[in-house]
Structure 1
């Protein structure tokens, strides 16, 4: 009897297990994709493609899961299997177009989208997924471009009227997403509202409306929408993620609730993570969140742990490198970014990867970092600021001529430059000149003078330091010390006027004023032979810096007893 009972229980368990597997339908897989449970979705879809090998639809959603993870090659393999199973199922051509976009093959994307639309001109899903494909953000971009948004909006508008018998809530959500990417909030709201009118239980529409309210800083309405989504599906992770980001935005906007909202945001994000199975992909999204939040210590800990997994995504090493830079763990950062750049392939490497690698190397006094910074600029010419970094690094290492030249590259390539940066360049060239070296390159002195003159012309108010250094340069040009022309005189006079007018003088100001007066005194004594003015200038110098060596020597001469002749 006991044996029969055990057999019956085993049979019952088998039935339930079989029912569970059977229950994991395409609808469940699609729900997992929407919930950003990509690992779970892939497991389901791989099972479905095994049990239903001739289903082109299963292959499409498997491929789309790979698209969401930016695995273009795996996605293409699934889409091509779908086309082989049913060449008239249009969505797989949409998928190939999306993969082409990830590969930056816009012509291939357009061709595949057109093929899909010609196969199924009345299928709203085809229009929806073409729209979603245009909204994919392809590195190095960080936002949807206006052109791609307009392409998405155009195809989605056609999709709304493609089949008068079908009202597709998901298509309206995608249209809203396209509009909000271009900050067209009112039009986006109309589309989200229409989606909810079609399907009041659309969790994606509720969350999208919540995000819209977040942008408007309407925290209550945003929270209501996230709660509405979670009432429909308590396990819909994206609602928690968007709620977390809303918490952080509110914390930044309202100091009174900042502490509480930051803590609440962390809890909501952890809840999001728990609902996405803590897969590599989900934790990489967590890494994105940590990176954007500037939580570099935690980011390095998380990515270092992820890097130990055999199934780790190479992107882990990018974040490990970035966070190690911020945490001053330079060796770990260099190792991580060298691995990422070496293995990721040309299409996945960003200018920022070389930028951070260069910064890591320079922090270790490895001059090859300059080449990495220049590679970053070659890949993305908007990053002309790398030449500022090169200039500052060279200046710090007392390679003054190199620093001045790097500043010039920055000015030429960026077509900008603050007066402070111009002053730094002028100082670089000034310090590059060695007055004690007979073979010193006087060309750098000319460049320094030119840079100071530029500031003199452009500054809205006179800059005392500019006249101080122009005085130094003019004095250096006054080469014949036995026949001094006083070239520096007008500059020192201007410096004295500007600096002595300050309401409060620093110790440095006093020292520099004393030095300027000493120059004037020397001029009066040796060129003009004017003892009264010489005494007056030295007296002013003594007032500002009694310890000045020239001042001390002059007054020592003045007070020394006169020599008598016998």
Structure 2
């Protein structure tokens, strides 16, 4: 009888582990079937019940998970795993205080003579981490990291549990400081693989880490490693399909077939097929296919189906239709699943709609914020800058240049020049002047800073014309006089401006001085003659002015009339 009991227990344990493996491999329906079978045979199977609730959560069926945990807690009110599961549901429902109380209760109840139970520490950290994202920030991610670090330091003999703790810790660290904890994340994932070499998820997560860094060589390597550990690991086939769709369509088709063979039967699996139609520019076919998925799922497809529709309509030039679907995508997709390029898709769509330029700009800024790499941020900025430049939306262009200069460690002269020019076109002369001034400091041997400091000073200096513009004009003259032959064409405009400015100020001494200089650089004989006439008239006026007796007790000055 004992042998039989051990055999049955072993079968159940194996089945539970198979269900968990299916869940991690995105075979959610298969996993759910395993857990439901185990619960049906033993309603008091706490582990199977916990994982059944997790399967519902994986499907974003919060109500389903809540039903599972509420029912089980009526008979097992103090089961720590069930309390953690219900706490995760509370987080999803924005009941932060209720969730925290359940987590604390689960930890207290499970605490033994040797301290906290690492399995419950892991479950609590996992629950918070899976719900938390950098936008909604449901739950305390620092608390999650604290509990997972404690679990990682415990004496855990179960290698899969130990590896899972490190996997969840890596995920929590990633979410705690996006773009900053990469080294720690990588280290924990590598350690998880060392502890349990058969576990495919850490390798997959490392692949996704390198995907976020756009290190495609390492991304492919780690995805293939995950497949080696589990030839039916569907998430890796999915990501490789999507990657090769852009570089090798035939290879993409092979991985898509592998995904289909490894995943649960689901009408949404056809998404990859229709995505390849998009990659091959068969946009009408992609649109028809995506709409077919929506119909077959009763209007509840995965959000990425809406993104495929938006992408396809944009490619066809139909931004009106694209807007409907990109809005659906952003409304239904989880914040952490939205990729930086999704924001640029939204920006491109909204930029084509009159009056929606502000939404387009904010979408680019959101994309920059969500990208964790400097190169990725700069790619988004360049796309946005080019788009706004073509549409002559200089204010938005200048806003993105401001971000570019903030992100780029060493802006080039071109970066500073075009940022200056964008502000100038947008009539934002103060920022343009400051940027031009920065050019003169960082690139003093280049002409652009001096010229545009002068150009912007003219636009700013309308009230008191000698405060900015005249000094800037003289600095510009100092620069171009270093190579008079090269900059010969620049002199007439500057001298002409100074003539007009001093004349308006009734400073006729300087007016004459710059008229003489202007005449010297003028080639047209008629123009020279006209300038000389002006010089003669002003000199005559100045002679008469000087000959006048000074008023008693007054000081008098040239141009005081």
Q: TM-score, normalised by structure 1?
A: 0.60
1:89 Cα offset (Å): 3.2
Match of 1:157 among 143, 152, 172: 152
User: What do the CA deviations read for 1:242-269 (whole angstroms, capped 9, x no partner)?
Assistant: 8879x97xx9xxxxxx988x86576345
8 Å contact 2:126–2:144 — kept in the other structure?
no
Aligned counterpart, 1:337 = 326
1:82 Cα offset (Å): 2.0
1:36 Cα offset (Å): 2.0
Aligned counterpart, 1:138 = 132
8 Å contact 2:189–2:202 — kept in the other structure?
no
Match of 1:455 among 438, 449, 456: 438
Match of 1:116 among 81, 106, 112: 106
Cα–Cα, structure 1 residues 389 and 23, in superposed 2: closer, same or farther, change >3 Å?
Answer: closer
Q: Distance in 2 between matches of 1:392 and 1:239?
A: 35
Cα–Cα, structure 1 residues 396 and 367, in superposed 2: closer, same or farther, change >3 Å?
Answer: farther
Cα–Cα, structure 1 residues 176 and 141, in superposed 2: closer, same or farther, change >3 Å?
Answer: farther
Q: Distance in 1 between matches of 2:415 and 2:103?
A: 49
1:318 Cα offset (Å): 5.4
Cα–Cα, structure 1 residues 227 and 475, in superposed 2: closer, same or farther, change >3 Å?
Answer: closer
1:415 Cα offset (Å): 12
Aligned counterpart, 1:229 = 229
Aligned counterpart, 1:514 = 489
Of 320-329 and 378-387, more deviation after overlay is shown by 378-387
SS across alignment from 1:29: helix
Q: Distance in 2 between matches of 1:379 and 1:212?
A: 17
Q: Distance in 2 between matches of 1:487 and 1:202?
A: 70
Aligned counterpart, 1:316 = 304
Q: Distance in 2 between matches of 1:514 and 1:352?
A: 45
Of 29-38 and 527-536, more deviation after overlay is shown by 527-536
Cα–Cα, structure 1 residues 421 and 499, in superposed 2: closer, same or farther, change >3 Å?
Answer: farther
Aligned counterpart, 1:254 = none
Q: Distance in 1 between matches of 2:118 and 2:204?
A: 22
Q: How does 1:390-405 map to 2 (within 5 A)?
A: none
Q: How does 1:383-462 map to 2 (within 5 A)?
A: 423-424=417-418, 426-428=420-422, 430-431=424-425, 447=430, 450-451=433-434, 454-456=437-439, 458-462=441-445
SS across alignment from 1:538: coil
Cα–Cα, structure 1 residues 372 and 206, in superposed 2: closer, same or farther, change >3 Å?
Answer: closer
1:158 Cα offset (Å): 6.3
Q: Distance in 2 between matches of 1:523 and 1:202?
A: 76
Q: Distance in 1 between matches of 2:257 and 2:526?
A: 73
8 Å contact 1:403–1:425 — kept in the other structure?
no
8 Å contact 2:416–2:439 — kept in the other structure?
no
Q: How does 1:284-363 map to 2 (within 5 A)?
A: 303-309=290-296, 310=298, 312-313=300-301, 315-316=303-304, 319-320=307-308, 323-324=311-312, 327=315, 329-340=318-329, 357-363=346-352
Of 332-341 and 114-123, more deviation after overlay is shown by 114-123
The question of 1:129 aligning with 2:119 is answered no
SS across alignment from 2:130: coil
8 Å contact 2:347–2:361 — kept in the other structure?
yes
Q: How does 1:465-476 map to 2 (within 5 A)?
A: 465-472=448-455
Cα–Cα, structure 1 residues 113 and 191, in superposed 2: closer, same or farther, change >3 Å?
Answer: same
1:271 Cα offset (Å): 0.9
8 Å contact 1:243–1:265 — kept in the other structure?
yes
1:517 Cα offset (Å): 3.6
User: What do the CA deviations read for 1:61-120 (whole angstroms, capped 9, x no partner)?
Assistant: 221012233443432222222212432433221212333444565544432223223344
Cα–Cα, structure 1 residues 553 and 267, in superposed 2: closer, same or farther, change >3 Å?
Answer: farther
Aligned counterpart, 2:76 = 86
User: What do the CA deviations read for 1:464-505 (whole angstroms, capped 9, x no partner)?
Assistant: 233334444566769999xxx987752552463578787xxx
Q: Distance in 2 between matches of 1:210 and 1:359?
A: 29
1:275 Cα offset (Å): 0.8
Aligned counterpart, 1:506 = none
Q: How does 1:213-252 map to 2 (within 5 A)?
A: 226=226, 229-230=229-230, 234-238=231-235, 240=237
Q: Distance in 1 between matches of 2:333 and 2:406?
A: 29
User: What do the CA deviations read for 1:201-246 (whole angstroms, capped 9, x no partner)?
Assistant: 666689789999999989999699657634xxx544356568879x
SS across alignment from 2:522: helix
Q: TM-score, normalised by structure 2?
A: 0.60
- RMSD (CA atoms): 6.1
Q: Distance in 2 between matches of 1:48 and 1:158?
A: 32
Q: Name stretches of at least 5 consecutive residues in structure 2 with no aligned partner.
A: 1-11, 172-180, 372-376, 504-510, 532-561
Aligned counterpart, 1:547 = none
Q: Distance in 1 between matches of 2:203 and 2:338?
A: 36
1:362 Cα offset (Å): 1.6
Aligned counterpart, 1:171 = 161
The question of 1:368 aligning with 2:362 is answered no
